[in-house]
Structures are given as C-alpha cells and as structure tokens.
Amino acid sequence: MRETPLLRRGRGAVSNVTGRFESLQHCDIDDGWSSYAEPESKVTTQWRDDCNRSIITRNQSPDIHFDRSINPYRGCEHGCVYCFARPSHTYLGHSAGLDFETKLYAKRGAAKLLRAELSKRSYHCEPIAIGVNTDAYQPLEKKLQITRSVLEVLHETNHPAYLITKSSLIERDIDLLRNMAEKNLVSVCITITTLDRKLARNLEPRATTPGRRLKTLEILSRAGIPARVSVSPVIPALNEEEMDVIVEAAANAGAQAAYAIVLRLPHELQELFPQWLEQHYPLRAARVMKAIRSVRESKLNNADFGARMIGSGPRAEIIRQRFALACKRCGIADGRDFELDCSQFVPPVPGGQLTLL
C-alpha cells in the first residue's frame, strides 16, 4: 500500500500529515479500490471562535525588530506551503497540512482585549506587529473585519503598528492607515515571493496574485503610507533567481525598503515541503532540497538565533550580497526596520467612557 497525496485545487499542502503531539499517526493509502478518496475530494474552509484571554504576544528574539505582535487568526486560508506558522496548528490537535488552511480560528474579541491591555497602568508603548504568524488580511477578514477593529483601537490611541500581508484587502483600511502615517505611526510590508504566476499559484494558492500585490504597493505609496517589500521566503534553486527583478518591480511601485528571509522548514514542514516539491516540480525536487541543506548546515532547518532568518554558508552569503546589491541599484533601503513614533500614545479610557477631569 502507498500513501496517496491529497492534491486539491486551490490548496497548498498535498497531505494532512499528523501533528507531532498526536499519539496516533494517520495517512491515506491506496487500497486499489480508489473509492475512499471520493467523499474527501473537496475540502471546505471552516472557522470557529478562538477563546483567547489575551491578544498581544510578546517575544525576546534578537532576529526581529519588534517585541510584541497581534495575530487576529490562527491558521491561514492563503495555503502557502512554506509557511513557518503551520507547525503551530499542531498545538490545537490539528495537522500542519490541510488542516492549517481549512480549520481556522478567529479572535473576534481582539479589539476588546486590546483595549483592556492598552489601558493597564503597567503598559509601555512599543510598535505592535500585526499579521506576523498568519495573514491578518486573509479571506475571512473580509467577512469578520477583526483586523479592522484592531486598527481602529490603535488609531484611536495613537499606537504605532507594523503590518505585513500578501493581500490587497489592506486597501480597505487606507482611511485609517493614511491618518496613522501622517503621525508616523504605521508602516506596511507587502510580501512578494515570486512574479511567476504559475509558481505563485502553486506556492500560495489563495493569496493575491503577484501583479496585484505590486499594485497594492503602488496604491499605499501614493496614499502616503510608508511601504516596503518582503522577498520571502527565498527558496534556493526555486525562486532564488527572481530576487533582483522583484526588488526592482517593488521599488518602481513605490517601496521604500526591502528585506529577504531564507526558507525555514521547522517540524512538520520537513515532510510537507518535500511532498509539495515532488508533486509540482518532481524534476527539480532533489536539486532544491540539496540547495536548502547547503544554507542550513546540511540540515533542513537551523533554529539558532542569528542564522535562522538568513541561513549560513557560501550560498547564503551570496544571497545576502545579491540582495543588498539589488536594493542599492534600485535606490531603496535594505532592511526591515521603520522607526515609528511611540510618544503620541494615549491609553484608552476603560469602559469607553470619558472622565470628568
């Protein structure tokens, strides 16, 4: 018997590999009858409320330029096969594969929780990153508008924020973002992994097309909102060669800065990504996996601070130098940081009522 890939139109993962915390392993097999797969030929997206008690996640990582973030959703319908957040779905008893992109959790109380946390006397204002783990503007946001409600609280309190997304839906919130930008309270990053529509459709099946993301960059820039591009992840021997043209296209669209992160394959991704390669690019699969190991010390992942974002070794150094030169040629900054103003923050009034004094 052989395991059968669960390739489905509009989905990224080609299997629903069991999470590492489960005691039993489940897999689909071909028993020769082929009937078992028919009821599961189409997987629909489901969502439920996330019963979280806090909304701001804090970190002490030296690899990133912020110490707190908000993720309005768990799981992401964009279905990006390389997403480093996939393994986090196993904490919920789900698979990092198809479950990650079809079983979503929404934090509909996010704005209320945020207001409560910002009201605490002990709260110290620093920029909040939104949509770091999963995209805050994924398709479900159009219906639930959780990210919009979070932005409204930040706008009201003059709290600075970083946003990162692959979606043109962010254009909906230009009214808030423009006002925040006038006070140096916001910057937006658009992720562009490839300009090849076929590769993008396979890598990121339900995300906005690359051309439309460039248009979003242009619209944000024209609105006076500081915008940058994330050329991430750089996948050695797959989209690596596109770095220069993506940086140039983004610069022409108005991006002020750019940065790149080399592909990471933590936990279940070490099984999911090779499966995806074998399904979509079988003739290149072995070369791509060898190239990935060449920037990860002969492994598929290196979680060490200082190396996990940029890789190590000669090939990783060449990627870094090429990217820096591309930014220099296009006249944009090479980096992830935007200095935002934290001095204007005004804590929200508890309960939403004004005080007499």
284-288 CB contacts, 8 Å cutoff, 24+ apart: 284/237, 284/238, 287/237, 288/235, 288/236, 288/237, 288/238
Residues 6+ apart with CB under 8 A from 140: 45, 47, 73, 77, 104, 106
Lowest mean pLDDT among 22-26, 156-160, 177-181, 315-319: 22-26
What percent of the chain is predicted at pLDDT more than 70?
90
In contact, 238 and 276? CB cutoff 8 Å: no
Q: Tell me the C-alpha distance between 260 and 120, whole Å.
A: 36
pLDDT, average across residues 235-239: 97
What are 52-78's pLDDT values in tens digits? 899 999 988 888 888 999 999 999 999
Q: What is the pLDDT of residues 126-137, one digit of tens each?
A: 999 999 999 999
Q: Is residue 357 predicted with pLDDT exceeding 70?
A: no
**pLDDT beyond 70 at 50:** yes
H/E stretch holding 105: strand 103-106
Question: What's the CATH number of domain 2-339, 3.30.930.10, 3.40.1190.10, 3.20.20.70, 3.90.230.10?
Answer: 3.20.20.70
Q: Is the pLDDT of residue 223 over 70?
A: yes
- What pLDDT sits at residue 248? 98
Tokens of 136: 């805050």
Mean pLDDT of 243-249: 97
Report the alpha-carbon distance of residue 177 to residue 167 in Å, rounded: 15
Partner residues linked to 163 by β-bridges: 130, 188
State pLDDT tens for residues 23-49: 666 665 656 655 444 445 578 899 999
Residue 234 has pLDDT above 90, yes or no: yes
Note every long-range contact of 28-35, with CB atoms under 8 Å and residues 24 or more positions apart, other chains counting: 28/3, 28/4, 29/1, 29/2, 29/3, 29/4, 30/1, 30/2, 30/4, 31/1
pLDDT for residue 16: 85
In three-state secondary structure terms, 182 is helix
Q: Which one is predicted more confidently, 96 or 36?
A: 96
State pTM to two decimals.
Answer: 0.90
Q: What pLDDT score does 356 carry? A: 44
